[in-house]
Structure 1
Amino acid sequence: MHFVQPEVRLIGRPSLDYEEVAAYLEEVGGKGWLERLDRTNDAQNLAEIGGRTCYRSWEPGLNPNVTRVRTDQDAYLENILASSHGSVLEHLTFNFIFSNVSRVLTHEQVRHRVGTAISQESLRFVRLDDLPFWFPEWAQQDGELMTRAVRLLLDMESFQLWMADHFGLDDENVPFKEKKHKTSFMRRFAPEGVTTTAVWSANVRTLRHVIESRTAEGAEEEIRIVFGKVGELMKEEAPALFGDYEVTEGGAWVPSWRKV
């Protein structure tokens, strides 16, 4: 076994085809909007496209009911958040790899299933010959706790290795079907705290909710750390959509605009 730290990596983000956007805007008379646009942040631009499509607010006069058009994107997206126009944010999906996170975390993570996708390392196929484990700082400072915990984990790890040898999983010509069957049985003797890797994708509407709820002071400690990292990544990635959060001394991410 070895000690690990939870890690979050942002591996994917929205990407716009500006030629196709331009072709559409040419049809509806909104090409001037695109000419003013800063093309450095596709995610924020996509949110603005979604919102302006709803009201045909590319330019004054395209919709007789719209007499004033915001030209500043930050102000436009702030109004989206303030007016709870959350459906616009569902178009923006970001992709993450969570590594060295426990199954305690992923069991809670899947409860946020609306607007998400998840692919997690399967212990039905991946054999455990090592038990990576995360300990919070307060636990590491408890000598007796750590001694007993490490001893228990080493025993469980040793049992995993014994089972693999006992079942002859590395013998020649063992069918993959049998390996899968036995490996699936072996995972039942792994602790819920053993760490894993998952690819997690979520749209911005969901991200705003999950960051708030899973960094709240009553949330589980590891989950608070992980989604605090997600919040930091998103605030840098899309400041106009996540810049309204304030982080408390306790690490909770509290938005100015809730339930978008």
Structure 2
Amino acid sequence: MPEKKLEIKLLSKTDSGLSLIYAAFRQCYSAGFVGDIWDDLVSGKIEKEKQAEFIAKILESGHESPIEHVSFTFAVQGVSRALTHQLVRHRIASYSQQSQRYVDESDFDYILPPSIAKIPEAKVEFEQCMQTIGKAYRNLKRILQDNGLGKKANEDARFVLPQACESKVVFTMNCRSLLHFFELRCCERAQWEIRKMAWKMLKILRQELPVIFAVAGPKCERLGYCPEGEKFTCGKFKVRG
């Protein structure tokens, strides 16, 4: 039952994402048919820099719906069930998560919060708890199997598993959903684990599609003030008066 570390891998992305966004934006403002210039966009005959400049200019106006045509798919491991419960609240996305019904958790990995890790007494208490839960899971699974549940024993034995239990998930979000995700989850007030994951994802996407993600991040950085109000602000930006 070892502690597990966060790992993120970009599995897939929409082909020709920059050109696709450009084409979608251009169609909104052009009487012509963007299908006629598609090959020139993809080949670079219409320069990528000019495509990016056009996209950036339109984005400044607040028009964002065309960026929904481009999506990214991530595989993540070394995250807790506490994190994934937050993640799936982002509704315009697709998720495929490791199932505790079908995967044996007899020797489950877990996520150790940094606040607990740095206090020896707390770390010992936490790790002893993980060991106790692991033993309870194995005992329950054995008892259920002995009473005829067979492979379905996992289904009910899992009820004792903690939120710290490590999970793996594949998820896909379009660019607009990702911008919203980063506004919320890169914020200093976001829970530490999902904030750490969000910043790692954003680092990847700033390399992949900078015209969209170079300025992505906490909402306060875009607005220039903290929208959380005096009660919840982290103090990085002033609250709008």
| Distance in 2 (alpha carbons) for counterparts of 1:255 and 1:57 | 36
Question: Against the structure 1 CA distance between its residues 58 and 48, is the aligned structure 2 distance closer, same or farther, given a 3 Å change threshold?
Answer: farther
Q: Name the counterpart of 2:29.
A: 55
Q: Which residue of 2 aligns with 1:21?
A: none
Q: Which amino acid aligns with 2:8?
A: V
| 2:172 aligned with 1:190 | no
Is contact 1:46-1:91 (8 Å) kept?
yes
Aligned partner of 1:139 in structure 2 is 116
- TM-score norm. by structure 1 comes to 0.74
Looking at structure 1, the residues matched to 12 and 162 of structure 2 have their Cα atoms a distance apart, in angstroms, of 31
**What's the CA shift for 1:108?**
0.9
Aligned residues: 212
Distance 1:255 1:233 in 2: 19
Call closer, same or farther: CA 1:133–1:57 in 2, change over 3 Å.
farther
CA shift, 1:57, in A, is: 7.0
Cα contact 1:102–1:192 (8 A) shared by 2: yes
Instruction: Output the amino acid matched with 1:239.
Output: P
Alpha-carbon displacement from aligned partner over 1:15-58 (angstroms, at most 9, x marks no partner): 2xxxxxxxxxxxxxxxxxxxxxxxxxx11111101111222277
Change (3 A) 1:108 1:184: same
Deviations 1:87-145 (A, max 9, x none): 1011001100111111111111111102x100111111112112211223332110000
Rounded to whole Å, the distance in 2 between the matches of 1:97 and 1:154 is 28
Instruction: Please say if residues 52 and 58 of structure 1, whose CA atoms lie closer than 8 Å, have aligned partners that are also in contact.
Output: no
**Structure 1 residue 8: deviation in Å?**
1.4
Distance in 2, matches of 1:168 and 1:256, equals: 55
Task: Structure 2: state its 5+ residue gaps.
Answer: 37-45, 225-241
Is the aligned partner of 1:111 residue 2:89?
Answer: yes
Describe the shift of the 1:57–1:216 C-alpha distance in structure 2 as closer, same or farther (beyond 3 A). Answer: farther
- Residue 253 (structure 1) shift: 7.2
Match of 2:209?
Answer: 238
Rg larger for: 1
Letter in 2 for 1:102: S
Q: Answer yes or no: is the 8 Å Cα contact 1:100–1:196 preserved in 2.
A: yes
Counterpart of 1:45 in structure 2 is 19
Offset of residue 197 of structure 1: 0.6
For residues 239 and 254 of structure 1, do their structure 2 counterparts lie closer, same or farther at Cα, with a shift above 3 Å needed? farther
Q: One-letter code of the match for 1:2?
A: P
**Relative to 1, partners in 2 of residues 1:52 and 1:148: Cα closer, same or farther, differing over 3 Å?**
same
| TM-score of the two chains, using structure 2 as the length reference | 0.80
AA paired with 1:161?
Answer: R
Q: Deviations over 1:195-247 (max 9, x none)?
A: 1011110000000110121110111000100011111111011011111246x
Unaligned runs of 5+ in 1: 16-41, 63-68, 247-251
Q: Whose RCO is larger (CA < 8 A, sep 6+)?
A: 1
2:9 alignment partner AA? R
SS at match of 1:232: helix
RMSD: 2.7
**Partner SS, residue 145 of structure 2:** coil
1:78 aligns with 2:56: yes
